[in-house]
């Protein structure tokens, strides 16, 4: 959970009784909420701070109300839960003289409650949220670069990190729980932050993690096959994403309409919407990309962005591949809707810093070395686009090292295998985060996909550890080849059988390169 260094210090105490009245919560035990003030909120007992309200949620595995004793030990001064939770914790709350408030759906209430407790921080910041299957992190970093042109300090909350001003911690997931979100925005205000760029996952939308937050601009990248284990169908997946594009969450929308899902979303939202078309096509859009020239190896991609009223700018994007032109175009339009000057917006994106694990070049081609790249692609579509991005700059063989996650959408495993078999020359199939599953079974499913399209392909290897897989790829690579290692990107751990092992592809690849070619 968020460490103390990410807690605001000056939250003004909020009277619990007023919160209860405002949000329609019913006091349950004999302990009167009158006279109790709260200075924060949390949905996890190990994240509670002194003077905070503990919101005990019903979960898939357990009920948060089971952990009320721990939350009270940590300093919670009130508990909010549902009827089932109240049965579990009423006694302990009464014994310890702590007010217990009941509401029908505490998850839905956690956002608005936290927003109030932390003083509605988002209302004092420039805010943007980005959703979509792929490109959220990249677009968010482009937005952060834009925000820096307009304000001295910024916050980025997403998959890679939680950064508020100068303080950064690794992020536990794409979108943090609602109390943490509002807490971080409050901390930002305290530290002079003027703008926040937030990644929003579909899980977060379905689970009310961004409730109580209305951003200035919400952006949509694309919808591709992923997370169907959770959402069930693509239609449900889109419906969950669409929650962000409602007045409860955003003031205006910027939607990429390159896929049918974006077009459906743009048609459905009641918000003022800007449609962006980044790929060639005939989808109707206010903003369109032209003359795209895709670069790699230090050469940025360039493109012309045309908008309403004869608007036209020459833009560039420091990351390779058409996908990043989509992300850059989306960020530029979102930045313009933030009110940042066009020249600043375009310049900021052109010079945005490298994003960890996003087409990150670990070695450049030259001096006998191959080009090696680490990328976070972990869906069939993203893998296809990543492989297509490096093919034009690969005179030799394209060597792909990849796997697929355990305890997640099983259907994509053969699809990943099939994509790699079609687009790469040498495959090393390995593990991502097997979690509770047998890694060999996951690899078999990928290999079935490989054989379904290329039964004749002989350059297919299987390695039961990532370190070994990367070492093999490096051993066979020549200076004309490209190695691309996908699936884990920036991730600092590998999750195997419930244990998080410290692991990151970049240093492992760097070491393998040094072992073979020495330090450069």
Ligand X SMILES: Nc1ncnc2c1ncn2[C@@H]1O[C@H](COP(=O)(O)OP(=O)(O)OP(=O)(O)O)[C@@H](O)[C@H]1O
Ligand Y SMILES: CC(=O)N[C@H]1[C@@H](OP(=O)(O)OP(=O)(O)OC[C@H]2O[C@@H](n3ccc(=O)[nH]c3=O)[C@H](O)[C@@H]2O)O[C@H](CO)[C@@H](O)[C@@H]1O[C@H](C)C(=O)N[C@@H](C)C(=O)N[C@H](CCC(=O)O)C(=O)O
Can you say which residues are annotated as belonging to the binding site?
A: 45, 132-138, 174-175, 201, 209
301 is a contact residue toward ligand X (CB under 6 A) = no
In whole angstroms, the minimum distance from the beta carbon of 226 to ligand Y comes to: 7
Give 363's DSSP letter: E
Give 356's DSSP letter: T
**DSSP secondary structure string for all residues of 6-46:** GS-S-PPPEEHHHHHHHHTPEE-SSS--TT-EESEEESSGG
State both tokens at 30: 């004999």
Distance of alpha carbon 31 from alpha carbon 95, whole angstroms: 10
Tell me, residue by residue from 201 to 230, as one string, x for binding to ligand X by CB under 6 A and - for no binding.
Answer: x-------------------xx--------
Instruction: Scan for tokens 């951003």, then name that residue.
Output: 215
173 is a contact residue toward ligand Y (CB under 6 A) = yes
In whole angstroms, the minimum distance from the beta carbon of 198 to ligand X comes to: 12
Task: Decide: 189 and 121 in contact? Cβ < 8 Å.
Answer: yes
When the beta carbons of 158 and 262 are compared against ligand Y, the nearer one is 158
Distance of alpha carbon 174 from alpha carbon 184, whole angstroms: 14
53 is a contact residue toward ligand Y (CB under 6 A) = no
Strand, coil or helix: 432? coil
Distance of alpha carbon 128 from alpha carbon 106, whole angstroms: 26
Distance of alpha carbon 210 from alpha carbon 196, whole angstroms: 13
When the beta carbons of 174 and 504 are compared against ligand X, the nearer one is 174
Task: Decide: 136 and 114 in contact? Cβ < 8 Å.
Answer: no
Instruction: Scan for tokens 């003077």, then name that residue.
Output: 51
Strand, coil or helix: 287? strand
221 binds, among ligand X, ligand Y, none (CB under 5 to 8 A by kind): ligand X
Can you tell me which of 375, 405, 432, 481 binds ligand X, judged by CB under 6 A? 375
174 is a contact residue toward ligand X (CB under 6 A) = yes
Q: How many CB atoms lie within 10 A of CB 291?
A: 9
386 binds, among ligand X, ligand Y, none (CB under 5 to 8 A by kind): ligand X
Distance of alpha carbon 405 from alpha carbon 436, whole angstroms: 10
Can you tell me which of 138, 197, 269, 404 binds ligand X, judged by CB under 6 A? 138
Distance of alpha carbon 420 from alpha carbon 176, whole angstroms: 33
Tell me, residue by residue from 81 to 120, as one string, x for binding to ligand Y by CB under 6 A and - for no binding.
Answer: ----------------------------------------
Tell me, residue by residue from 407 to 446, as one string, x for binding to ligand X by CB under 6 A and - for no binding.
Answer: ----------------------------------------
157 is a contact residue toward ligand Y (CB under 6 A) = no
In whole angstroms, the minimum distance from the beta carbon of 226 to ligand X comes to: 7
203 binds, among ligand X, ligand Y, none (CB under 5 to 8 A by kind): ligand Y
When the beta carbons of 386 and 471 are compared against ligand Y, the nearer one is 386
Distance of alpha carbon 329 from alpha carbon 315, whole angstroms: 8
Query: Where does this chain touch ligand X (CB under 6 A) — which range of 71-79, 309-317, 371-379, 439-447?
Result: 371-379
Strand, coil or helix: 328? helix
Residues that bind ligand X (CB under 6 A): 134-138, 159, 174, 199, 201, 221-222, 323, 326-327, 358, 375-377, 382, 385-386, 489
Residues that bind ligand Y (CB under 6 A): 43-46, 57, 59-62, 64, 67, 173-175, 177, 201, 203-204, 207
């Amino acid at each position: 959970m968020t460490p103390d260094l990410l807690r605001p210090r000056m939250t003004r105490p909020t009277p619990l009784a007023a919160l209860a009245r405002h949000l329609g919560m019913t006091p349950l035990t004999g302990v009167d909420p009158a006279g109790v003030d709260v200075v924060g909120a949390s949905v996890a007992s190990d994240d509670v701070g002194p003077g905070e309200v503990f919101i005990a949620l019903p979960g898939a595995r357990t009920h948060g109300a089971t952990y009320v004793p721990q939350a009270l030990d940590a300093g919670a001064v009130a508990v909010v839960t549902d009827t089932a939770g109240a049965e579990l914790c009423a006694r302990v709350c009464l014994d310890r003289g702590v007010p217990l408030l009941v509401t029908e759906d505490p998850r839905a209430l956690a956002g608005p409650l936290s927003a109030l407790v932390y003083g509605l921080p988002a209302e004092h910041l420039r805010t943007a949220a980005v959703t979509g299957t792929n490109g959220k992190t990249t677009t968010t970093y482009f937005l952060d670069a834009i925000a820096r042109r307009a304000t001295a300090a910024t916050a980025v909350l997403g998959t890679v990190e939680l950064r508020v001003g100068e303080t950064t911690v690794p992020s536990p997931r794409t979108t943090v729980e609602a109390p943490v979100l509002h807490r971080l925005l409050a901390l930002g205000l305290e530290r002079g932050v003027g703008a926040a760029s937030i990644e929003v996952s579909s899980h977060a939308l379905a689970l009310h993690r961004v409730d109580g937050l209305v951003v200035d601009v919400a952006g949509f990248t694309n919808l591709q096959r992923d997370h169907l284990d959770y959402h069930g169908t693509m239609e449900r997946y889109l419906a969950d994403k669409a929650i962000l594009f409602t007045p409860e969450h955003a003031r205006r929308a910027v939607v990429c309409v390159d896929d049918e899902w974006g077009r459906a979303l743009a048609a459905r939202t009641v918000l003022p919407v800007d449609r962006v078309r980044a790929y060639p096509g005939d989808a109707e859009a206010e903003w369109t990309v032209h003359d795209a020239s895709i670069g790699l190896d230090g050469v940025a991609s360039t493109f012309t962005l045309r908008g309403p009223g004869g608007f036209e700018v020459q833009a560039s994007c420091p990351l390779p591949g058409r996908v990043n032109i989509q992300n850059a175009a989306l960020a530029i339009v979102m930045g313009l809707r933030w009110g940042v000057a066009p020249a600043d917006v375009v310049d900021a994106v052109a010079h945005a810093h490298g994003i960890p694990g996003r087409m990150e070049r670990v070695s450049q081609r030259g001096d006998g070395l191959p080009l090696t790249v680490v990328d976070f692609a972990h869906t069939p579509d993203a893998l296809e686009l990543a492989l297509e991005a490096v093919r034009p700059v690969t005179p030799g063989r394209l060597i792909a090292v990849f796997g697929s996650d355990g305890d997640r959408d099983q259907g994509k495993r053969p699809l990943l295998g099939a994509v790699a078999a079609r687009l790469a020359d040498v495959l090393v199939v390995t593990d991502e985060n097997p979690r509770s599953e047998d890694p060999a079974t996951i690899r078999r499913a990928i290999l079935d996909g490989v054989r379904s399209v290329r039964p004749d392909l002989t350059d297919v290897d299987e390695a039961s550890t990532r370190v070994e897989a990367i070492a093999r790829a490096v051993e066979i690579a020549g200076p004309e080849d490209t190695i691309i290692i996908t699936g884990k990107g920036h991730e600092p751990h590998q999750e195997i059988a419930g244990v998080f092992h410290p692991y990151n592809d970049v240093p492992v690849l760097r070491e393998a390169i040094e072992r073979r070619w020495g330090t450069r």
